[in-house]
Each structure stands twice: as C-alpha cells, then as structure tokens.
Amino acid sequence: MIAIVKYNAGNVFSVTCALQRLGVDAVVTDDPDTLRAADKVIFPGVGEAAAAMGYLRDKGLDKVIAGLKQPVLGICIGMQLLCRHSEEGDVDGMGIFDTVVKRFDNSSCPQCKVPHMGWNTVEAVSDCRLVDDGVNGRHVYYVHSYYAEPCCHTEAVTHYIVPFSAVLHRDNFYATQFHPEKSGDVGELILRKFLEL
Amino acid sequence: MLAKRIIPCLDVKDGATVKGVNFVNFRNAGDPVELGQRYSDEGADELVYLDITASLEGRDTFVDLVRRVARNVSIPFTVGGGISSVEHVDTLLNAGADKISINSSALRRPELISEIASRFGRQVCVVAIDARCVDGEWICYVKGGHEPTSRRLVEWALEAQDRGAGEILFTSMDHDGVKQGFACEALNQLHDALSIPVIASGGCGAMEHFKDAFEIGHADAALAASVFHFNEIPIDELKRYLHNCNIPVRL
C-alpha cells in the first residue's frame, strides 16, 4: 500500500492522479498507524513552510513522518520540511537532511525571476537512485522561491542563480524539490523508480 | 538552464468542446482532454484552459473538465475565465488545476490578487492583461477587450506583481489574430519592469515570432492557440527550431 500524507498541501490530488496514471492506487491519510503500515509514503507539499509545519506539529504528524522506516518521498515543501530549518517563516523542520532552506536572492542575477518557475535540468552529483542515466540532464518542473543548499545528502542538483539540491537522500528518506507529478514522462520515470525501491 | 516555455491555449465551451480546432485524423476534435494530452505528447510545457461558457450550468461542467485534465495530463495547467472569488479559485485548485488566471475581475477589484496569493501562494495566481497601444500608450482593456480602462500596461502589471501575482500573461490586442509577431517592445518593457515571469500572447504566425518573443521581448513563455490548433506550427518542430537557435527549451 502506498500512502500519501494528508495535510494542508496543495498537490495531494495531483500526486494521487500521477500515481493512478502509473496504475497505483494510493491512500490519502493522516492516520499515524496507516502511515506506519504503508509500504511507501509520499509527503507532498505546495504552500508556505511555516504554516505547513505548524499544521503537521499540531497533528503530531512531524514525529510520525520522521520516525518512518519504509521509503519516504518528500516533494517540494515536503522536501523542505525534512531539512533542518527554513527561512520561509523562520521555522525548524524535521532535520532528516543536514541542510537549510533559503530564499533565492537574485541580486547577482536580476534577470532571474523569483519564483523559479518552469522546466529546468537536473544533474546527478553522486549515485542517485531517482536520477539515473535515463533522467540525468533532462528537464523537470519547478515552482519555488526557496531552495535547500547542497549538502552531504544531495544526490542531484539544478542550477538557478546558485546550484541547489534537486534530490536529497538519506537512508529511507528521498526527496525532490521539483514536482515529479507534473514533470511529464521524466516525472513518471522518477516516480516509478521510487515505487520500485 | 531554465527553459523557455511553449503554452497552447484551449478555449473551452460548456466543459466539453474546444473552439477553433481543426485537426485531421483526430478522433474527437473537440475533446479538451484528448487535445491536451496530444499537446503534452508533442512537447507542450504547460496548458491553459479558458472557460468561455456563459451559463452557470456550464461552469460546473468546467470543474468536471478540470478534474479530467488533472487525471490524464502529466504537465502543469492553468485555468481561467470568469474567476472572481477566492471560493471559485479553491474549487478549481481542488479539482487539480495548478494555477488560475484572472483578468477583468482583477482590474475591477485588485484586492482579489492579494486574497488569492495569501491563501494559495503567489505561484498560483496568473494575472492576464489585455492591452492595446493607443497614441503610444498601452491601455488595459476588460470584458474580453471590449471596454478600455484608465490603467496603463506596465503600471498595472507592477501593481499586480506587488499584490502577489506569480506571473503576467500579456496579450496585445493589436497583434492578436494578425499573425505578424508578438508585441516584443511592450514585452521587453514588462521584462525590464517586473521581477516575475512574463508570458507573451497574441500575434504569432511563424516560428521566428516565438524566437523574437524570447530574444527581443525577453518573454519567459509564449502562448498561442490557432497556430497549434490548426497544426500550422507543430510544437515538436517549433521546439527543435528554437533549440537550433540556441534558445533553451525542453526537448
């Protein structure tokens, strides 16, 4: 069973649809026991970091997610909340990934618009289960104003103003800053890779 | 490198048919979902669905359509047409739309932009502007381009940005339908003034026009309808052309 964490995130339905296109029916739930019992858990996210984190803490879901043992995939804000800290709303995350989330500063590149919106290339910087040869160098879809600084858990980067973490991985936790559920064929390849872990 | 985006626009009536489409060998020429999938397969980067329905019943079927698009299409899509309240936006986003576009309603009540941005995030809110050049000044129009306002293009685009717009979709009414190219000079003015992405719309009739919108107008994305619907410019060919012109695109 694949579970999608139910919370105040904007893309839960899109992720559900993407999985359905791959022939996978997912359960959308905020029940701790169901999340713990799932084969894999997807932790999506669109919105504002501090509000999302506050909601998760109120429901006790932050501890549930951080304690999961099966493969977990964080997407966008989901990824950012798995980091140590986010500048957006100055909020502490779950600290799975040893990095911080900062706002894009385009003062060095005034023609670079913020939010970083659209299709950009993803490059593996180490062995990356999600970004293999079929995906490396291809375009994925981004919509974000904040990014995770590269760290020891960064397996792929994208360059926009600065290089930032496109894919993070530590133990059973995987995360993408881009939206695989909106990234066409390439996104489907990446979701498949996660489902096959 | 961030790619320039190519965006087909589909006008939808009663949630079912796309207007102005003439495809050969197309099973159901009017089906917006099938057409969206086809564009996605050809390499479209995003889709825009505009609801041109007048009746209230038609509005409900549009929400059903949004849900079907979300289920079947794996690239982002924006929906617009007659959106004037946060509740309406909520309904469309819940149905799976990635962004919404507002036009006349934002000019009538600019607070709507801030309300949408603060509730759903600014990336959700595309502000569409229809404008025409009158005596050297770009004037904003409402009601599908029928009624002039007192607002100027760049000044209104800046206010929209400050209120929380995530993107500006600029249609030059002077260029729309003429197929002589996008309004590159005005696009460049918007590019210089704004820090959010600008989508060029209105006027393309040839592949060079897209190149000009990106190179001269510095647009971040370009939107078109009939050249795609009538297959005058196949999207895959357009993207290879742009790639050969050294414009970053997703192939």
Quote the pLDDT of residue B25.
46
Do the chains contact at B250 and A181, CB–CB below 8 Å?
no
Quote the pLDDT of residue B109.
97
Handedness of CA A177, A181, A187, A193 (dihedral sign): positive
* Residue B24 burial class via C-beta count within 10 angstroms: exposed 0-12, middle 13-18, buried 19 and up: exposed
Coil vs helix vs strand at A84: strand
Do the chains contact at B74 and A141, CB–CB below 8 Å?
no
- Give the confidence band of B13 by pLDDT, cuts at 50, 70, 90: confident
Coil vs helix vs strand at A93: coil
pLDDT (tens digit per residue) in B193-247: 999 999 999 999 999 999 999 999 999 999 999 899 888 999 999 999 999 999 9
Please check whether residue B109 is in contact with residue B92, taking contact to mean a CB–CB distance below 8 angstroms. no
B197 chain-A contacts, CB cut-off 8 A: 113, 117-118
- Give the confidence band of A33 by pLDDT, cuts at 50, 70, 90: very high
Task: Report the C-alpha gap between A176 and A179 in whole angstroms.
Answer: 7
Please check whether residue B213 is in contact with residue B221, taking contact to mean a CB–CB distance below 8 angstroms. no
Quote the pLDDT of residue A158.
98
In the residue annotation, A181 being an active-site residue is answered as yes
Please check whether residue B249 is in contact with residue B228, taking contact to mean a CB–CB distance below 8 angstroms. no
pLDDT > 90 fraction of chain B, expressed in percent and rounded: 76
pLDDT higher than 90, residue B14: no
pLDDT higher than 80, residue B110: yes
Do the chains contact at A113 and B98, CB–CB below 8 Å?
no
> Any CB–CB contact under 8 A between A96 and chain B?
no
B40 chain-A contacts, CB cut-off 8 A: 184
pLDDT higher than 60, residue B26: no
> Any CB–CB contact under 8 A between A120 and chain B?
yes
Run of H or E including B185:
helix B184-193
Contacts of B83 (CB under 8 A, 6+ apart): B89, B92, B100, B101, B102, B105
The ipTM assigned to this model is 0.91
Residue B13 has which token pair?
């009536």
Run of H or E including A36:
helix A32-37
- Give the confidence band of B248 by pLDDT, cuts at 50, 70, 90: very high
Classify the phi-psi angles of B194: left when phi > 0, otherwise alpha if psi is within -120 to 50, otherwise beta.
beta
Quote the pLDDT of residue B121.
84
Quote the pLDDT of residue A50.
86
Quote the pLDDT of residue B56.
66
Task: Report the C-alpha gap between A107 and A89 in whole angstroms.
Answer: 21
Residue A81 has which token pair?
């909340």
DSSP secondary structure string for all residues of B109-150: -THHHHHHHHHH-GGGEEEEEEEEEETTEEEEEETTTTEEEE
A113 closest CB neighbour out of B5, B45, B196: B196
In the residue annotation, B98 being an active-site residue is answered as no
- Give the confidence band of B72 by pLDDT, cuts at 50, 70, 90: very high
Quote the pLDDT of residue B27.
44
CB atoms inside a 10 Å sphere around CB B137:
10
Give chain B's mean pLDDT: 91
pLDDT (tens digit per residue) in A125-178: 988 889 998 899 999 999 999 999 999 999 999 999 999 999 999 999 999 999
Give chain A's mean pLDDT: 94
How are the residues of chain A apportioned to helix, strand and coil, as percentages rounded to the nearest 5?
30, 35, 40
Whose tokens are 């390849």? That residue is A189
Least confident of A4-13, B135-144, B195-204: A4-13
pTM of the model: 0.93
CA distances from B158 to A23, B1, B182, B186, B237 (A): 45, 26, 21, 14, 35
Phi, psi (rounded to 5 degrees) for A35: -60, -45
- Give the confidence band of B23 by pLDDT, cuts at 50, 70, 90: very low
Do the chains contact at B166 and A115, CB–CB below 8 Å?
yes
pLDDT higher than 90, residue A51: no
Quote the pLDDT of residue B57.
67
pLDDT (tens digit per residue) in B168-197: 999 999 998 889 999 999 999 999 999 999
Least confident of A135-139, B51-55, B98-102, B118-122: B51-55
